[in-house]
Chain A
Amino acid sequence: MRKRIVSSALPLVVVVVGVFALARMTGSPASLYLPLNATDAMRADFIAKNGLDQPVLVQMFDYFGGLLRLDFGTSLRTGEDAAAMALRAFPATLQLAAMTMVIAIVLAIIVGSAAALKPNGVLDRFASFVSMAAASIPDFWLAIVGIWVFAIYLGWLPTSGVMGAAAWVLPVATLVMRPFGALVQVIRGAMVTSLSEPYIKLARSKGATEYRVVTGHALRNAAAPALTVAGDLTVGLINGAVVVETIFGWPGIGKLMIDSILQRDFAVLQACVLLTALAIFVLNILIDLGYALLDPRVRPAAGARARRKTRAVTIENEPSEPIEPNVPTAASASV
């Protein structure tokens, strides 16, 4: 586990260094922050005041020195503490992501399981169509159509904003589509496979109810691949529900990050990236832990490598038999 933590922490540093250097390659922010006809003296003042006249390496050294003192720098745009801005925006995104994933997982389990009961049946085909559509509709289009239909035409929901429970409906509904679509396919695939396993037949022959078979046995086997995909999807959501946050005026980190990039607000951009990378790092650890709990063979001692190998494979009942890589859908749907 310690190795795993170290190996996931390394990319964190790489990301922060990379963003630091890349942001500065896009040019000086002076032209954005000074009036177009600013004098040369004003320009020089601005550049010196913000340390932008130093070589990038010196700037980076200063920045990391600041991080050690928990000084993340000051926003060029607002003059506020960069870390404070990022920390203020982050919970809004986390809440949106958590709400979205809970709903997506619950819906996907219901629809995916129901579809798997009769492969190629009417319900299965319908679920397949719906999930494919859900996973491929562009957020932007969905958000705007949602506003037209539910806020303007029907008048049931607010167009945007963050006031009250109703304000959550459209952003969450927009965001839920992609993870729902992807997860339905993963769960359905895994369920179809496990429902044809000998132990299911045995359970049925012993008189277990269909409900018990599905929820008790098959679903448990499908949980591991679903967790992997759900983890990736959550990372995607945290990384920026940029479009949704922008359209609905949701004060999250995705919107803040985009604004910071466009405004060359280096300190805020770096704070956002660092915070997001940190969250993803923690999330990955949590997924690993969850995985270990789901699959006893992948206890932390087995290390990351073993986990990777067995990740897509569920082994519970017949360890002596050759293991089939039985969840191709997990890989194909995790795009």
Chain B
Amino acid sequence: MFFASKPGAPVTRTRRLSMAVAAGALLGTTVLSGCSVANSSASNSSGAAGAAAGDTLRVVLQQEPPTLEACESNLTSTGVVVRSTITEPLIERNPTTGDLEPKLATEWTSKDDTKWTLKLREGVKFHDGSDFTAEDAAATIDRAVNSKLGCNVEGYVFGDDDLKLNVVDAGTLEVTAPKADPILPLRLSFLEVVPAETSSTEKVREPIGTGPYKLDKWEAGQSINASAFADYWGEAPAFPKANYQWRSEGSVRAAMITSGEADIATGLSPEDNIGDLGVTFPNNETVALRMHGDTAPFTDIRVRQAVNYAIDKEAIVASLYGGRDKAAAQLVPGGVVGHSESLPVWPYDPEKAKSLVAEAKAAGVDTSAQISLVVRTAQFPKIEELGQVLQEQLTQAGLNVKLKMLETSQHLTYQVRPFPTDDEGAIMLMTQHGNQAGDAAFTVDQYMTTKGAQSAFGTPELDKLIATADAATGADRQSAFEKVFSYQNDNVVQFAHIAHQTGMLGLAKTVNYAPNSSTSDELRLAEVTPAK
């Protein structure tokens, strides 16, 4: 043919080749990749659309846990899977009453708040079949608190202090604190028990526990499967199997509930289109502004008071959060030891705010100095809008506020000491503080003392009040912390409190579950039952 005889390769042959190459370049990638990757190779089908829920409880989380290491379980993403589901603590805090209840320890006593004696439950087995004894309890505490493992729980709950451990017999353990510690049992409730054989030099990705569910298979990137532990010491859970998946997009998590692909979805907001399958619950988180008192205009308490008057908390809760949140007067919500019901929410009074700023200006404070309102993107729903509303209201009061949106890692550098010296003026940080422990000590020690890791400043008087409260017990403890909170509002004003938040869970009609204030941190699968 004419064309084929022209210079160059014969058309027909070349054409075939070209097609082959074009397709080959693409398909080759598939072949190279080994062919059996992201699709049906998975061993279970419980996550697929339309799969019968039946005996599998399907949970969709916001993110894959980075690890299931038991000593990291006060990280929300780890704890929500591990705590009281795969592993169990010695002592458990009832999230509703705040009382400590027996778990792997049946009783605990102390004469002097320093040396605590724990009686341990008999007949408990680990998932590997071994018996739970005082050795395991001692090794768990030693590993998490005294070792160099760098467990999250160490810094958060125990600080620098090491604990002395003495195994009296298989069912008795003595724990000695370096100084009197009335809330030591509460601290111990943060430790999830693992066998004594667990490495104390390396963290373990998949723990062996005593919980109602044991880990079957973690398919990295895809799902975690667990099944009911046949030798569990307590009551068997209602669902024989459990499956965790994760989707970062809230609307997708909600869609998985409405389309029947999942039974429980965590971390939703009303914008995610969950309709009446969304269940709200108080989640222990409080939003507040922390003002750094070392730079003008925050050097003057009148300016800090003005910030409090300028913010219309009720309007923010009503318009941005549909009235579900609650205007806050302090850093901890109801249910936490030390929360004061009688402390009034700071009133909204824009005129008073303006006049306080003017007074400070007359006294020589540079009230036109720039303030950076530092906010973390996507920390909670509508945070960007909240930042803009606050900027507007503070500007109305006569302050010069610039909104600074930062991602998590950058935001954290502002959250903890040493704080960056901001070249953009005074710093006002938006914080979202959650008190999982249920005791104000975990809040005020770090947020309000003069040297607290997350405290911008304090006063010696406040430090004294906090030290007194930390050592107090019973009713004294409650009133001592109430005093701390009201003193901060009257005399220090490091914070402008905004709201106690609510969480939202997506629950399919197939299951029953009543979320509580610790649901976001520990989703106890054994408490979930089928709807019928």
Real complex partners, A and B? Answer: yes
Bound-complex Cα distance A94 to B258 (A): 31
Q: In the complex, which residues of chain B have a beta carbon less than 8 angstroms from the beta carbon of A317? A: 3, 6
A161 within 8 Å of B (CB atoms): yes
The stretch of A1-9, A54-62, A147-155 in contact with B is: A147-155
* B1-35 contacts to A (CB < 8 Å): 2-3, 6-9, 11, 14-15, 17-19, 21-30, 32-34
Task: Determine which of B30, B47, B256, B453 lies in contact with A94 in the assembled complex, contact meaning CB atoms within 8 Å.
Answer: B30
**Are B26 and A159 in contact (CB-based, < 8 A)?**
no
* Per-residue interface assignment for chain A, residues 306 to 320, with 1 indicating a CB less than 8 Å from any chain B CB and 0 otherwise: 000000000011010
CA distance A263 to B410 in the complex (A): 11
The contact of A35 among B11, B17, B155, by CB within 8 Å, is B155
Q: Does A334 contact B (CB under 8 A)?
A: no
Question: Which residues of chain B from 412 to 436 have any CB-CB distance to chain A below 8 Å in the complex?
Answer: 412-413, 415-416
Contact B67 A294 (CB under 8 A): no
Contact with B48, one of A31, A46, A167, A227 (Cβ below 8 angstroms): A167
User: Which 6 residue pairs across A and B have the least CB separation, nearest first?
Assistant: A251-B221, A158-B49, A91-B33, A290-B21, A35-B155, A92-B38
A sample of 13 more A-B contacts (CB under 8 A), given A251-B220, A297-B8, is A34-B150, A35-B152, A78-B205, A79-B203, A159-B49, A161-B245, A251-B222, A252-B38, A262-B408, A279-B29, A294-B21, A316-B6, A319-B7
Minimum distance in angstroms from B4 CB to a CB of chain A = 10
**Does A37 contact B18, Cβ atoms closer than 8 Å?**
no
Which chain B residues have a beta carbon within 8 Å of chain A's beta carbons?
Answer: 2-3, 6-9, 11, 14-15, 17-19, 21-30, 32-34, 37-40, 42, 45, 47-50, 66-67, 74, 148, 150, 152-156, 159-160, 202-203, 205, 220-222, 245-249, 251-252, 255-256, 258-259, 261, 407-410, 412-413, 415-416, 445-446, 452-454
Check B22–A147 contact: CB distance below 8 A: no
Query: Once the chains are docked, how many angstroms separate the CA of A246 from the CA of B64?
Result: 12
State whether A35 touches B156 (Cβ < 8 A). yes
Q: How far is the CB of A278 from chain B (nearest CB, A)?
A: 12
Nearest chain-B residue to A317 (Cβ)?
B6
Question: In the complex, what residues of A have CB within 8 A of residue B261's CB?
Answer: 158-161
Interface, chain A (partner B; CB < 8 A)? 26-27, 29, 31-32, 34-39, 41-42, 45-46, 49, 77-80, 85, 88-92, 94-99, 101-102, 105, 144, 147-148, 151-152, 155, 157-168, 199, 202-203, 206, 216-217, 220, 223, 226-227, 230-231, 234, 246-252, 256, 262-264, 279, 283, 286-287, 289-290, 293-294, 296-297, 316-317, 319
Q: Are A223 and B255 in contact (CB under 8 A)?
A: no
The binding surface of chain A is classed by DSSP as helix
26 cross-chain CB contacts under 8 A: A26-B410, A42-B150, A96-B38, A99-B30, A101-B26, A147-B252, A152-B255, A152-B258, A157-B49, A159-B256, A160-B261, A163-B47, A166-B49, A220-B18, A227-B18, A230-B22, A246-B248, A247-B249, A249-B248, A263-B66, A279-B29, A283-B25, A290-B24, A290-B25, A296-B9, A319-B7
Contact call B155/A29, Cβ cutoff below 8 A: no
What CA separation (Å) do A101 and B23 show in the bound complex? 9
A45 to B261, CA, bound (A): 44
CB distance from B306 to the nearest CB of A (A): 28
**In the complex, A173→B251 CA distance in Å?**
19
CB distance from A280 to the nearest CB of B (A): 11
**Which residues of chain A come closer than 8 Å to B42, judged between CB atoms?**
162-163
B155–A164 CB distance below 8 A? no
Nearest-neighbour CB distance to chain A for B308, whole angstroms, equals 24
| Bound-state Cα–Cα, A104 to B23, Å | 12
Q: Flag if A159 contacts B29 (CB, 8 Å).
A: no
Are B48 and A38 neighbours in the complex by a CB distance under 8 Å?
A: no
Interface contact A160-B252, CB-CB below 8 Å:
yes
Instruction: Choose from B21, B148, B246 the contact partner of A45 (Cβ within 8 Å).
Output: B148
User: Contact between B11 and A220 (Cβ–Cβ < 8 Å)?
Assistant: yes
In the complex, are the beta carbons of B38 and A216 less than 8 A apart? Answer: no
